[in-house]
Amino acid sequence: MRDHPECVHGMVVAMHDTPQREKWATGQGATESTYGWALSFNEFTPGEETDWEEMRLSSSLYGYCRSRLMALYGSRHDDTTFPARNAIATYAAAHPAPAGSSGWFLPGENELATLCFGAPANFATSESLYYYTQLSMLKEINPQIDKAAGDMLTGKYCSSSELSTTHVWRVNLAPPAMA
């Protein structure tokens, strides 16, 4: 809200995937949690400290904040790149987001779960309406993407949410292989 107070809140899905799958991070960023680093880092400039506090208070599950944290981490670690984030920047250069929006970013765990399953929670419980095998929201979104001549969502997608120092939260939407 601070960065884009006039924007309409909602999610937008890119109509085309990047040409290739990208690594999430390289260098030290591939083995260190950006969130954990920021919690213990004591050398932020006043502007960076303000940004970090906003990110921390906004929730670590939102992709916009996590994408900003990746940029902050990268600015302090010369050996680190975030190829997945860079691919989004390349996409954004060719497909600008509407004025007044926050721009393109990697979704957070809750955003990716909502996009695919219809809700950010209860998708691991088989009794839930949002159980992950049902892909309730994806079944509504993919036909619309197809009608607009976009790339339907299938395959593996990562979020900007780190699970550990070496893993990010992701979904695999590829159909199961036949035995």
DSSP per residue, 95-159? SPPPTTS-------HHHHHHHHHSSSSSTT-TTSTT-TTT-HHHHHHHHHHHHTT-----SEEEE
The pLDDT of residue 124 is 74
The pLDDT of residue 103 is 85
In a domain, 8, yes or no: no
6: which DSSP letter? T
In a domain, 2, yes or no: no
User: What's the pTM value of the predicted model, to 2 decimals?
Assistant: 0.76
In a domain, 11, yes or no: no
| Same domain? 50 vs 80 | yes
| Same domain? 160 vs 143 | yes
Domain boundary among 78, 98, 118: 98
Q: Residue 157 in contact with residue 112, Cβ under 8 Å?
A: yes
User: Which of 102, 68, 80 has its CA nearest to residue 28?
Assistant: 80
Going by pLDDT thresholds of 50, 70 and 90, the confidence category of residue 8 is: low
Going by pLDDT thresholds of 50, 70 and 90, the confidence category of residue 147 is: very high
What average pLDDT does this structure show over 78-104? 87
- Top mean pLDDT of 19-33, 126-140, 156-170 is at 19-33
| Same domain? 31 vs 91 | yes
User: Which of 174, 172, 155, 162 has its CA nearest to residue 24?
Assistant: 162
| Same domain? 71 vs 128 | no
| Same domain? 30 vs 91 | yes
| Same domain? 82 vs 116 | no
In a domain, 161, yes or no: yes
What average pLDDT does this structure show over 2-9? 64
Q: Is the pLDDT of residue 150 over 90?
A: no
The pLDDT of residue 165 is 64
In a domain, 155, yes or no: yes
Domain boundary among 98, 118, 146: 98
In a domain, 128, yes or no: yes
| Same domain? 82 vs 123 | no
In a domain, 16, yes or no: no
In a domain, 64, yes or no: yes
The pLDDT of residue 99 is 78
| Same domain? 126 vs 63 | no
| Same domain? 119 vs 138 | yes
Residue 127 belongs to domain spanning = 107-173
Count of structural domains, the chain:
2
Domain boundary among 48, 75, 98: 98
